[in-house]
């Protein structure tokens, strides 16, 4: 696939996404006295607890984007620096850390998180302060739906996109009687709502839905109900360490041999905590380092990102690395194009701007709700990886364009009122 011709705006976009120049010879040389004029970006993440692994990988992506911009001279002549805080997977703590970053550290904008409840908490604080916040990895529909704000953007897919990118395929392949294992907080409830919509359209039924607390280690009381329900498919909605524990115990109970399993998303991080005989099923994935269907054959930017990330961190990047990189790259692109730290000007610079990045096809943060519109993929687990690469765990089999899996603008405008000042 040949590369398209580019104008100045597209060139800036591609540079921000990590062109050869961005990954190559450093262009940024610190100047005497520069520290006082550093542009600080506040990061709130779950560095402890069930989502620590994904949070660390998002942060690696954040840092790669910062490093790329600093090699090119920073933003508005200022070196960029991350100021990181651990929210401990707690929305209340997250609010406190967001206030600290804004009031004490004097950050210019905020990024993160993994936990959807935390994302909503930080979004509320940022909105009160009139500060830009890009939610890198919290999927709950509310972020770009009923709880949307003019200053809040989301990079990862919404739960609606995840369920509708996978639900129809799963129903067609396995049947329409589903048993759900659902995390009992905003993320899980939003996924449940999305799958109920899919089942209503295909004439399916939820034959069981077990709500599980975040951080559950023993799933036995939930899993023992599956046999009585006799589902066509077990849908696992829990993530992170909870996903690892759930699949491990499903295998111990012999359920993986009796029932197909799948769900809206799976990530490399929790799969690495499973033995090969516990890795199974068909899942939505949001990005993958080793597939032309996710990266694009002619996308040298994406392939260079994978190569440098692998070299720098000793392992290939995950979807979380992608979320982190795109989040900070677009944030800094918005600041550079607005030539201002005014959040309203930055938000207008980001929304609607189409860009090519480290995945297959162009993307944009939709103007009406600030959701990143980019494809999503379906993959079958490859339990043993491939020779010489234990991370190569996905066989990507399908891609769904964003516009076919997200709610329409008319539907979103019924619940999302950005309310610019």
**The two three-digit tokens of residue 264, written as one number:** 């809206």
Collapse the DSSP code of 179 into the 3-class scheme (helix H, G, I; strand E, B; otherwise coil) and give the result. strand
**The two three-digit tokens of residue 216, written as one number:** 């559950």
Q: Which tens digit of pLDDT belongs to each residue from 396-416?
A: 999 999 999 999 999 999 999
Question: Residues for the chain: how many in total?
Answer: 421
H helix or E strand, kind and range, residue 55: helix 52-71
Distance CA 149, CA 299 (A): 33
Q: Cα 175 from chain centroid?
A: 28
Distance CA 49, CA 116 (A): 14
Residue 107 CB contacts under 8 Å (≥ 6 apart), including other chains: 40, 41, 42, 83, 101, 131
Q: For residues 76 and 27, which has the higher predicted lDDT (pLDDT)?
A: 76
Q: How confident is the model at residue 89 (pLDDT cuts 50, 70, 90)?
A: very high
> Is the pLDDT assigned to residue 11 strictly greater than 50?
no
> Is the pLDDT assigned to residue 155 strictly greater than 90?
yes
Closest among 276, 243, 239, 281 to 260, alpha carbons compared: 281
What per-residue confidence (pLDDT) applies to 3? 34
Mean pLDDT, residues 135-152 taken together: 97
**Torsion angle of the four alpha carbons 21, 25, 31, 36, in this order, in degrees rounded to the nearest 10:** 50
Mean pLDDT, residues 32-45 taken together: 77
Task: Give the orientation angle of helix 8-18 with respect to helix 52-71, to 10 degrees.
Answer: 130
What per-residue confidence (pLDDT) applies to 284? 96
β-pairing, 372-373 vs 233-236, is unpaired
Mean pLDDT of the chain: 92
Distance CA 349, CA 355 (A): 12
Indicate the DSSP class of residue 264: S
Which range among 176-180, 295-299, 316-320 shows the weakest confidence by mean pLDDT? 295-299
Distance CA 61, CA 324 (A): 4
What per-residue confidence (pLDDT) applies to 166? 97
Which position has the token pair 């999302």? 416
Q: How confident is the model at residue 8 (pLDDT cuts 50, 70, 90)?
A: very low
Which position has the token pair 């709950």? 140
What per-residue confidence (pLDDT) applies to 261? 98
Q: How confident is the model at residue 275 (pLDDT cuts 50, 70, 90)?
A: very high
Which domains, from first to last, does the chain contain? 8-157+294-371 (3.40.50.2300), 160-285+377-405 (3.40.50.2300)
Mean pLDDT, residues 377-393 taken together: 95
What per-residue confidence (pLDDT) applies to 286? 97
Distance CA 292, CA 187 (A): 29
Mean pLDDT, residues 166-172 taken together: 95
What per-residue confidence (pLDDT) applies to 32? 35
What per-residue confidence (pLDDT) applies to 30? 43
What per-residue confidence (pLDDT) applies to 10? 40
Mean pLDDT, residues 23-43 taken together: 60
Percentage of the chain exceeding pLDDT 70 = 91
Question: What b/e sequence results for 168-206 when a residue is b if at least 16 CB atoms lie within 10 Å of its CB, and e otherwise?
Answer: ebbbeebebbbbbbbbebbbbbbbbebbbebbeeeebeb
Which position has the token pair 């401990």? 88
Dihedral sign computed on CA atoms, order 248, 249, 252, 258: negative
Which range among 3-17, 367-381, 404-418 shows the weakest confidence by mean pLDDT? 3-17
Whether the CB-CB separation of 220 and 250 falls below 8 Å is answered with no
Which position has the token pair 């976009």? 13
> Is the pLDDT assigned to residue 4 strictly greater than 60?
no
Mean pLDDT, residues 209-238 taken together: 97
Q: For residues 16 and 89, which has the higher predicted lDDT (pLDDT)?
A: 89
Which pTM was predicted?
A: 0.89
> Is the pLDDT assigned to residue 209 strictly greater than 50?
yes
Mean pLDDT, residues 28-56 taken together: 78
Q: How confident is the model at residue 6 (pLDDT cuts 50, 70, 90)?
A: very low
Number of helices and strands in the chain (H, E): 18, 15
Apex 206 CA angle, 200 and 211, nearest 5: 125
What per-residue confidence (pLDDT) applies to 7? 40
Q: How confident is the model at residue 112 (pLDDT cuts 50, 70, 90)?
A: very high
What per-residue confidence (pLDDT) applies to 364? 98
Indicate the DSSP class of residue 182: E
Q: Which tens digit of pLDDT belongs to each residue from 59-87?
A: 999 999 999 999 999 999 999 999 999 99
Q: How confident is the model at residue 419 (pLDDT cuts 50, 70, 90)?
A: very high
């Amino acid at each position: 696939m040949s590369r398209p011709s580019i104008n100045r705006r597209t060139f800036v976009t591609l540079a921000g996404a990590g062109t050869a120049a961005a990954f190559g010879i450093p262009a940024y040389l610190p100047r005497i006295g520069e520290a006082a004029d550093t542009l600080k970006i506040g990061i709130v993440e779950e560095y402890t607890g069930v989502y620590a692994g994904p949070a660390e990988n998002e942060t690696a992506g954040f840092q790669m984007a910062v490093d790329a911009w600093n090699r090119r001279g920073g933003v508005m002549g200022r070196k960029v620096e991350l100021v990181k805080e651990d929210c401990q997977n707690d929305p209340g703590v997250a609010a406190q850390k967001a206030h600290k970053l804004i009031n004490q550290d004097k950050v210019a904008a905020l990024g993160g998180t993994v936990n959807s409840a935390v994302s909503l908490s930080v979004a509320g604080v940022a909105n009160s302060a009139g500060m830009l916040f890009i939610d890198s990895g919290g999927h709950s529909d509310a972020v770009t739906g009923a709880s949307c704000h003019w200053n809040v953007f989301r990079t990862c897919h919404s739960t609606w996109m995840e369920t509708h990118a996978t639900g129809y395929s799963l129903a067609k392949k396995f049947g329409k009687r589903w048993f759900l294992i659902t995390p009992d907080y905003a993320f899980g409830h939003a996924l449940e709502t999305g799958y109920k919509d899919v089942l209503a359209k295909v004439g399916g039924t939820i034959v069981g839905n077990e709500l599980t607390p975040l951080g559950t280690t023993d799933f036995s009381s939930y899993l023992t109900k599956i046999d009585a329900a006799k589902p066509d498919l077990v849908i696992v909605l829990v993530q992170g360490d909870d996903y690892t524990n759930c699949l491990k115990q499903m295998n111990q109970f012999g359920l993986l041999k009796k029932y197909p399993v799948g769900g809206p998303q799976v990530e490399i991080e929790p799969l690495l905590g499973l033995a090969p005989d516990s890795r199974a099923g068909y899942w939505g994935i949001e990005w993958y380092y080793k597939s032309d269907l996710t990266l694009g054959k002619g996308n040298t930017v994406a392939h260079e990102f994978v190569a440098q990330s692998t070299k720098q961190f000793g392992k290939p990047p995950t979807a979380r690395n992608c979320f982190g990189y795109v989040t900070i790259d677009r944030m800094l692109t918005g600041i550079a194009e607005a030539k201002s730290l005014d959040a309203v000007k930055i938000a207008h610079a980001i929304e609607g701007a189409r860009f090519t990045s480290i995945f297959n096809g162009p993307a944009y943060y939709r103007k009406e709700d600030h959701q990143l519109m980019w494809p999503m993929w379906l993959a079958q687990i490859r339990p043993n990886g491939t020779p010489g690469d234990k991370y190569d765990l996905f066989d990507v089999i399908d891609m769904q364009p964003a516009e076919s899996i997200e709610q329409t603008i008319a539907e979103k405008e019924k619940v999302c009122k950005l309310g610019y000042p």
